[in-house]
């Protein structure tokens, strides 16, 4: 009977690992649908970006108050999970606070540090809930941004509430543990942590409980905390909060080219060089392939990783001049639509096998022509993203498909293309008349 809690804990750990692992496998497989693209050059610069943007949250601190609160949640999540190692070992081995003996007098300092972090996470999450639901920060509101309707808005509230509850359980567990220490009750009396900085304020409220009630409270909050973390790890793979993990590879593999540089198709560039006499025509020319992108399989794997890394923070949409002037384009929606397309492909796989394909396409079924034509290619969305997501690369590929594969460009664009072809400039002036305006 004494091993039942350990068996149950091991079962819970195994189920969590299986569900999270299965989901990670699916996400990896969908990202691999994208085209190959080499992002391994300039490793030092890539590592620097990852440390500054993913670890150091550099772009978040453009708004200092929000940046500090976000860093509190992020640092608390990362560092408090170090404490999870002790809980996991206690659960597997049937021990109580296994690190207390090897750490000795340093152990109370470690626990108090975790308590301060837990309180910081709790406070920051409460502020974020107020910002979303009471102060109603504009970029989070479904009434203004259609991509925030339904699940995206609910998802943020669920995760913030869950983090508050988990931190409250952690602090309550410590409070009950401390009181049982002072009463020298059972194995609790074998550990001396002293009064806790934060949970010490909770202890007086439960000090009147009996020993058995305190043990039940401590065990309940211990199990609630660890099972809640396990649930969180699985839930994370279905949530926008997957960016907690994907922010690191996404910033490392981010685009290092200068903003505004548009990548030409190599086969097309080679064809132009041959026409100009710069290059020789190959004996066995490569197939040009499709111009641009119609579906997610035409995009690069990095664009698909971008979709899963999106935090839905809306900074890109807030900075978008097209969106500000009331046009349909929202860079955040471009990313969430791409992710929705990938999720629908996954559902088809799970139901019909990995060879299954549906009749839907990213362009048309998820993203409209009106959205991609509204983009000014200004790169404001790319500049604002905290984790180096590039909505513009997806927009340009979709637009390239419409224009070059289907010849569906606005009339004004066709006039510009014709001028470029004949006059080598967007305007309807021959090259020898280009400086006429400055004659006088």
Tokens representing residue 35 in the block: 């085209």
Cβ-proximal residues to 48 (8 Å cutoff; 6+ apart), any chain:
none
Q: Under a CB-based contact definition with an 8 Å cutoff, are residues 121 and 163 in contact?
A: yes
What does residue 434 show for φ and ψ, rounded to 5 degrees? -65, -25
DSSP track, 320-388: -HHHHTT-S--HHHHHHHHHHHHHHHHHHHHHH-TT---S--HHHHTB-HHHHHH-----HHHHH-TT-
Matching CATH number, 266-407, of 1.10.20, 1.10.3470, 1.10.1060, 1.10.10: 1.10.1060
| Contact of 185 with 215, CB cutoff 8 Å | yes
- pLDDT at position 225, please? 92
Return d(Cα 285, Cα 354) in angstroms, integer. Answer: 33
d(CA 234, CA 18): 9
Residues in the chain, pLDDT under 70: 1-2, 285-288
Q: Residue 65 forms beta bridges with which residues? A: none
**CA–CA separation, 154 and 172 (whole Å):** 27
Return d(Cα 282, Cα 75) in angstroms, integer. 55
**pLDDT for 395:** 96
pTM: 0.89
- Chain centroid to CA 410: how far? 35
Query: 151-184 burial, b if ≥16 CB within 10 A, otherwise e?
Result: ebbebbeebbebbbebbbbbbbbbbbbbbbbeee
Place of tokens 């002790």: 86
pLDDT value at position 283? 73
Q: Give 214's contacts (C-beta < 8 A, 6+ positions apart).
A: 176, 179, 180, 185, 206
What is the per-residue pLDDT for 277? 78
SS3 35: strand
The residue to which tokens 């059972």 are assigned: 186
Residue (of 211, 355, 225, 297) closest to 32 by Cα position: 297
- Asked if residues 312 and 240 have their Cβ atoms less than 8 Å apart, the reply is yes
pLDDT score, position 285? 67
Q: Which of 55, 27, 394 is nearest to 247 (CA)?
A: 55
**Contact (Cβ atoms closer than 8 angstroms) between residue 17 and residue 230:** no
∠ CA 295-299-305, nearest 5°, is: 110
- Which residues, in sequence order, are bridge partners of residue 63? none
Burial environment of residue 111 by CB neighbours within 10 A (0 to 12, 13 to 18, 19 or more): buried
Q: What is the CA radius of gyration of the chain?
A: 28
Q: Whose CA is closest to 241, among 342, 163, 126?
A: 163
For 135-163, the DSSP string reads S--GGG-TTT-GGGTTHHHHHHHHHHHHH
Q: What is residue 75's three-state secondary structure? A: helix
- How far is Cα 413 from Cα 372, in angstroms, rounded to an integer? 14
Distances in Å between the Cα of 11 and the Cα atoms of 16, 91, 103 are 9, 11, 29
Which two tokens mark 158?
């669920």
- Sequence-distant (≥ 6) Cβ neighbours of residue 213 within 8 angstroms: none
Which pLDDT score is estimated for 414?
87
């Amino acid at each position: 009977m004494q091993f039942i809690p350990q068996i149950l804990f091991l079962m819970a750990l195994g189920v969590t690992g299986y569900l999270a692992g299965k989901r990670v496998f699916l996400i990896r497989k969908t990202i691999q649908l994208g085209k190959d693209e080499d992002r391994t050059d300039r490793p030092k610069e890539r590592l620097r970006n990852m440390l500054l943007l993913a670890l150091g949250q550099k772009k978040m601190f453009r708004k200092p108050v929000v940046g500090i609160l976000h860093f509190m949640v992020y640092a608390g999540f990362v560092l408090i999970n170090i404490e999870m190692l002790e809980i996991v070992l206690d659960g597997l081995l049937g021990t109580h606070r296994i690190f207390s003996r090897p750490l000795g007098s340093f152990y109370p300092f470690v626990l108090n540090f975790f308590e301060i972090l837990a309180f910081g996470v709790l406070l920051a999450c409460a502020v974020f809930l107020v910002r979303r639901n009471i102060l109603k920060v504009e970029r989070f509101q479904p009434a203004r941004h259609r991509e925030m309707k339904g699940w995206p808005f609910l998802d943020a509230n669920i995760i913030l509430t869950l983090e508050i509850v988990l931190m409250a359980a952690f602090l309550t567990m410590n409070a009950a543990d401390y009181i049982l220490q002072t009463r020298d009750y059972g194995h609790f009396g074998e550990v001396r942590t002293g009064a806790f900085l934060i949970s010490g304020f909770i202890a007086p409220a439960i000090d009147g409980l009996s020993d058995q009630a305190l043990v039940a409270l401590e065990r309940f909050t211990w199990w609630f905390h660890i099972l809640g973390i396990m649930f969180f790890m699985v839930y994370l793979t279905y949530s926008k909060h997957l960016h907690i993990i994907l922010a690191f590879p996404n910033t490392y593999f981010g685009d290092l080219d200068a903003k505004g540089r548009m990548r030409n198709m190599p086969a097309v560039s080679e064809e132009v060089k041959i026409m100009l006499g710069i290059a020789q025509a190959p004996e066995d020319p490569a197939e040009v392939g499709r111009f641009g992108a119609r579906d997610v399989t035409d995009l690069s794997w990095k664009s698909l990783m971008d979709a899963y890394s999106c935090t839905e923070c809306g900074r890109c949409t807030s900075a978008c001049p097209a969106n500000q002037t009331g046009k349909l384009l929202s860079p955040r929606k471009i990313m969430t639509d791409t992710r929705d397309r990938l999720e629908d492909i996954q559902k088809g796989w799970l139901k019909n096998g990995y060879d299954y394909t549906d009749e839907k396409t990213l362009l048309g079924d998820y993203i409209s022509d009106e959205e991609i034509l509204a983009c000014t290619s200004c790169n404001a969305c790319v500049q604002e993203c905290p984790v180096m997501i590039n909505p513009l690369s997806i927009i340009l590929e979709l637009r390239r498909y419409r224009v070059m594969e289907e010849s569906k460009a606005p009339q004004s664009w066709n006039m510009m293309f014709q001028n470029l072809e004949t006059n080598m400039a967007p305007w309807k002036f021959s090259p020898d008349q280009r400086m006429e305006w400055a004659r006088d």
